Every structure is written in structure tokens, then in C-alpha cells.
Structure 1
Amino acid sequence: MSDVYNRMVKLLQTGFGLEADEITPDQTFSDLELDSLALVELSLAAQEEFGVPVNDEDISAQDTISQAAEVIAAKGVTV
């Protein structure tokens, strides 16, 4: 997996109390039971973590974690 994906998993662990073994690349945020408020919080945490703007369209409940990581990586995240 990509560095962005791994960092997203860490954000989910630290910010939302999920365990790494609960998270797979093909899970949607809905599968992880993240509601709209949690997705806003995740977007803000991702902006801070990656230093790129992350908006509502970038992370939605039906997106997989790997899709969100790809979108964020495409914004020019430096490793």
C-alpha cells in the first residue's frame, strides 16, 4: 500500500479508535460506520496531516479508504 494509505489508516486509528486489523483498503467509510460529522473531522485531520486541501467531495461515505488515499495523493502530497 501507499504511504498516503498507511497514513490514512493511522488517522483512523488515532482519531476514531479503530484498530489496524479492522481496516482494509476496500472498505468504505460507511462500512467503518463513520457518519457525516466523522468524515468532516477526518477531512480536517487529513488536511493537517498531508498539507493539501481536502473537501467534502474528496472523502464521502461510499468511498473506499484506498480511493480517498488516491485522491489525496493526486493533490501532490510529498512523502
Structure 2
Amino acid sequence: MSSTYDRLVGLLAKGFGIEPGETAPDNTFDELELDSLALVELTLAVQEEFGLTLTDDDLQAKNTLADAADVLDAKLVTLR
């Protein structure tokens, strides 16, 4: 996977106690048991980590980790 994916998994490990070995690209945030508050916290952590501005729709419970990494990659491209 991409470095964006790895950084996202690192944020999940650091902020939410989700072990990197317990995740897979096709896991949804729902499957990882992140509720709406946790997704808001993750969104804030992602914005700080990546220097991005995210909307409420960018990270949703039904998104897989791979989907989220793709969203972040697309936003990073627009910054360059």
C-alpha cells in the first residue's frame, strides 16, 4: 500500500489503540468500531498530520481504509 495508507494506519494506532497488524485495506471504519466522535477525532488528526482540510464527507464510517487513503492522496495531489 501507499505511504498515505501507512500514515493513516499509524494515526489509528496512535490515537485509537488499533494495532496495525489488526487492520487491512478493506476494513471499514465501522468494522474497526470507530463511532462518529472517533471519526471526527481522526479527521482532525489527519488534517494535522497531512496539512489538509477535510469535509465531513471525506471520512465516513462505511469507507474502507484504502478508500480513505485514496481520498487523502487525491487531496494531496491538488496541493502540489
- Between Structure 1 and Structure 2, which shows a larger proportion of helix residues? 2
In 1, Cα distance between equivalents of 2:34 and 2:64: 12
Q: What residue in structure 1 maps to residue 47 of structure 2? A: 47
SS in 2 for 1:37: helix
User: Taking structure 1 as the reference length, what is the TM-score of the superposition?
Assistant: 0.94
Aligned-residue offset at 1:54: 1.6
Amino acid at match of 2:13: Q
Residue identity over aligned pairs, in percent, reads: 56
Which residue does the alignment assign to 2:18? 18
> What is the Cα-based RMSD across aligned positions, in Å?
1.2
TM-score (norm 2): 0.93
Structure 1 segments of 4 or more deviating over 3 A? none
Q: Which amino acid aligns with 1:43?
A: T
Supply the distance in 2 between the matched residues of 1:18 and 1:7 (Cα, whole angstroms).
13
Give the unaligned 5+ runs of structure 2: none
